[in-house]
């Protein structure tokens, strides 16, 4: 607990370090106060995300893998992360730019990890995309129905487990069968993926993080417009 710490007196670097510890300890109120303090100091929202929240979540992931943390603690950390992201959401999504295109986004079937996917959605909205977020545990049928209903330009799929990333191939095969594959750009992301996997399942691109997802989505929209 950092009850006695007055964050206003701490240098920015130390607040970022404290954020990583508080995220690890699942302290949502403290995370919210720290995010607000850093914004007051003029830090860019994306910097707070990567150097504070995501860095903290990386440490959680390492200790989860090594059996030091268990699901309840990781859930607390995820809750604290989401609380911090909620403060940043309007800033990441605030641009007022013209709609760039429509993205159907979801975490694939069998997988309930949604923090990275939510971040990608927020950043895409910030870049002017309309985002149809299908949530987690999304089946191929649900992806296809949403693509048709919203006339989507891009399908974004997220998977955090080696056991669920393979479902992306199932979705891409279903797109082909439905005659939709040429119509939609498929972008995939999530910690266990890489370029080779994306190529193997015939996705258009692998996106290592949310910023790259936005960059890649914009690039494909430009290619479409040029065609
Ligand atoms: Co899970 N979990 N988890 N977990 N969990 C991992 C993924 C794991 C790597 C932990 C570990 O062992 N080190 C491991 C997977 C191992 C593997 O498959 N090889 C694991 C495991 C094993 C499990 C369970 C099976 C544990 C169990 O029950 N025994 C279970 C599975 C449940 C299920 O899905 N069926 C499980 C459960 C959970 C919680 C529910 C407790 C919780 C999820 C809460 C939630 O999301 N609401 C959780 C968490 C939090 C994690 C870790 C610690 C953190 C994930 C995260 O949010 N990262 C994770 C360890 C890790 O990744 N280091 C772990 C922060 C986030 C911002 O990053 O999601 O990578 P990330 O997103 C990035 C990029 O990847 C990219 O951009 C994002 C932003 O920059 N990106 C995209 C992601 N999706 C994209 C989509 C795109 C583009 C880019 O579309 C265009």
Q: Is the CB of 120 within 6 Å of ligand 1?
A: yes
Could you tell me the sign of the dihedral formed by the alpha carbons of 46, 47, 49, 55, in that order? positive
Q: What is the mean pLDDT of each run of 10 residues along the chain (227 residues)?
A: 77 97 96 97 92 91 92 92 91 69 98 94 86 98 98 98 98 98 97 98 96 93 88
- Rounded to whole angstroms, the Cα distance separating 120 from 102 reads 13
Ligand 1 contact via 160 beta carbon (within 6 Å)? yes
Q: What domains appear along the chain, each with residue ranges and CATH number?
A: 7-95 (1.10.1240.10), 102-226 (3.40.50.280)
Question: Cβ(204) to ligand 1 under 6 A?
Answer: no
Closest by alpha carbon to 112, among 134, 137, 132, 133? 137
Rounded to two decimals, what is the model's pTM? 0.91
Cα–ligand 1 centroid distance for 113 (angstroms)? 5
CA distances from 117 to 10, 36, 59 (A): 32, 23, 19
Predicted local confidence at residue 50, as pLDDT:
87
From ligand 1's centre to the CA of 61, what distance in Å?
Answer: 8
> Ligand 1 center to residue 6 CA distance, Å?
32
Angle at 172 between CA 168 and CA 175, to 5 degrees: 140
* Nearest CA owner, ligand 1 atom 72: 116
Look at residue 1 in the predicted model and tell me its pLDDT. Answer: 47
């Amino acid at each position: 607990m950092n009850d006695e710490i007055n964050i206003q007196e701490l240098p920015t670097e130390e607040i970022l370090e404290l954020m990583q510890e508080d995220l690890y300890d699942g302290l949502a109120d403290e995370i919210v106060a720290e995010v607000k303090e850093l914004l007051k100091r003029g830090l860019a929202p994306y910097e707070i995300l990567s150097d504070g929240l995501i860095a903290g979540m990386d440490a959680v992931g390492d200790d989860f893998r090594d059996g030091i943390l268990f699901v309840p603690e990781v859930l607390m950390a995820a809750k604290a992360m989401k609380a911090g992201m909620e403060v940043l959401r309007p800033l990441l999504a605030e641009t007022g730019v013209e709609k760039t295109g429509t993205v159907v986004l979801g975490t694939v079937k069998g997988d309930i990890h949604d923090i990275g996917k939510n971040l990608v959605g927020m950043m895409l909205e910030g870049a002017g995309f309309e985002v149809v977020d299908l949530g987690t545990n999304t089946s191929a049928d649900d992806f296809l129905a949403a693509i048709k209903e919203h006339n989507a330009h891009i399908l974004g799929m997220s998977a955090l487990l080696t056991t669920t990333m393979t479902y992306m191939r199932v979705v891409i095969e279903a797109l082909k069968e439905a005659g939709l594959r040429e119509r939609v750009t498929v972008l995939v992301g999530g910690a266990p993926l890489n370029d080779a996997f994306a190529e193997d399942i015939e996705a258009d691109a692998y996106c290592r993080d949310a910023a790259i997802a936005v960059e890649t989505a914009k690039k494909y929209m430009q290619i479409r417009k040029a065609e």
